[in-house]
Amino acid sequence: ESLDRFSLAVVNKAVNLTDGFPYISVCGNVPPQSCIFSQVLNVGAASAAWICILRYYQLRDWGVRKWHNQVILWTGLLCALGTSIVGNFQEKNQRSTHLTGAFLAFFVGILYFWLQLFLSWRMKNLPQPGAPWIGPLRLVLCSACFVLEVAMVVLHSWSMRSVSAICEWVVAMLLFILFGLLAVDFSRLDGCTLCLQPDSGSLRPPPDSPTSLHVQL
């Protein structure tokens, strides 16, 4: 999606590569790519939030303490919220709001994965689905992502915008990969069930059993 938007911005001459390599947000500043930018990031944010919720219940079933699990969940949800903010408040129109969303998406987003790595290090009894190299790969990706995020900020402050923009693009790709790697953990899931229960103060008598919707993964 990011590469498609970059290509569209170049074709529409919204960015000029002779002036330097553009930031992701610059490619999504003007229509029609700004429309695609908003729509796709909204879908991505909703998907990320759903992934974080599934991961929360999986960790709960694995015996992770509630408050530890809730901290991880909320960092993931803030990352999803930031992604949506970035998509809906373009840098050209709402710079401060856009940068706030970018901070949540990038920096809080990588914190989400660092917390999960720390949890797996502290709780040796947690299941480790997938090949033995998945854990070290996540460590390498998280480390690279953090270093590039710091480099992105420092290089931007030094007015090395093109190199900073390249770091931003790589960070975005690494975060996509980290979210994608959760599919390894979800391979242990057969499905999930959504249960709808009436409020205890409802005037209508509760049904014999809650309404359930089973989703096959």
Query: How far, in Å, are 128, 136, 140, 167, 174 from residue 143 at the CA level?
Result: 20, 10, 5, 13, 10
Tokens standing for 14?
């919204």
Task: Kindly report whether the global pTM for this prediction surpasses the value 0.85.
Answer: no
What angle is formed at CA 51 by the lines to CA 130 and CA 59, rounded to 5 degrees? 60
Task: Write down the pLDDT at residue 122.
Answer: 86
**Is residue 23 within 8 Å of 156, Cβ to Cβ?**
no
Task: Write down the pLDDT at residue 18.
Answer: 59
Task: Write down the pLDDT at residue 213.
Answer: 47
> Is the alpha carbon torsion for 180, 154, 72, 195 positive or negative?
negative
Task: Write down the pLDDT at residue 73.
Answer: 97
Query: How far, in Å, are 33, 116, 157, 172 from residue 30 at the CA level?
Result: 6, 37, 25, 20
pLDDT tens-digit map of 80-102: 999 999 989 988 788 899 999 99
Nearest to 46 by CA among 54, 36, 34: 54
- Ranges of the chain with pLDDT below 50: 1, 3-5, 10-11, 209, 211-213
Task: Write down the pLDDT at residue 1.
Answer: 45
Task: Write down the pLDDT at residue 205.
Answer: 54
What amino acid is encoded at 92 in this protein? K
> Is the alpha carbon torsion for 99, 104, 109, 110 positive or negative?
positive
